[in-house]
A = this chain, B = another copy of it.
Amino acid sequence: MAENEARLAESRWIARTIILVAERVKADLAHIVVPFDLPVPLARALMVLAEPTPMRDLAEQLGCEPSYITGLADQLEQRGLVIRVPGQDRRVKLLEITPEGSALRDRITDAIASRAIIERRLDDDERAGLVRLLERLLEP
């Protein structure tokens, strides 16, 4: 059917375009982060750390292996952006963002908001639509 073919073509276009946009977001983040002298992986971790988070959960949210988080946490701690807090289960360590980390995260998000290709190109209506879409996507 022509309708199905059209939808298939649109699906392929969406799929390719999502990859392209994600690519641009990634490149944009790399540029934005330069003046902050912060490696991109640390910046991404900061974005996730809204509240104290077990290291294992952070790995899942970042889509990487738990062993990788150890190095990330070490670097974040050295920079004073995060501290390791023991959990009630004493095997668990939570990463808690420090005031310095929180301040830096805000500066980075502000830079993204003002410079990132996504927001720079959207008017108010489109912005509202983007918020709704992102909310949908974050649902568990």
Contact = CB atoms under 8 A, between A and B. Distances in A.
B44 A106 contact: no
A52 to B, nearest CB: 17
A38 interface: no
Contact of A112 (B18, B126, B139): B18
Interface of A: 8, 10-27, 29-30, 44, 47-48, 61-63, 106, 108-110, 112-114, 116-119, 121-122, 126-127, 129-134, 136-139
A105 to B, nearest CB: 8
A138 B27 CA distance: 15
Given A109-B11, A113-B12, A118 B18 contact: yes
What is the interface of chain A mostly: helix, strand, loop, or mixed? helix
Contact of A19 (B25, B130, B133): B25
B14 A119 contact: yes
A43 to B, nearest CB: 8
A17 B50 CA distance: 12
Nearest to A31: B63
Contact of A119 (B15, B27, B122): B15
Contacts of A44: 19, 23
B15 A26 contact: no
Given A12-B106, A16-B109, A113-B14, A21 B137 contact: yes
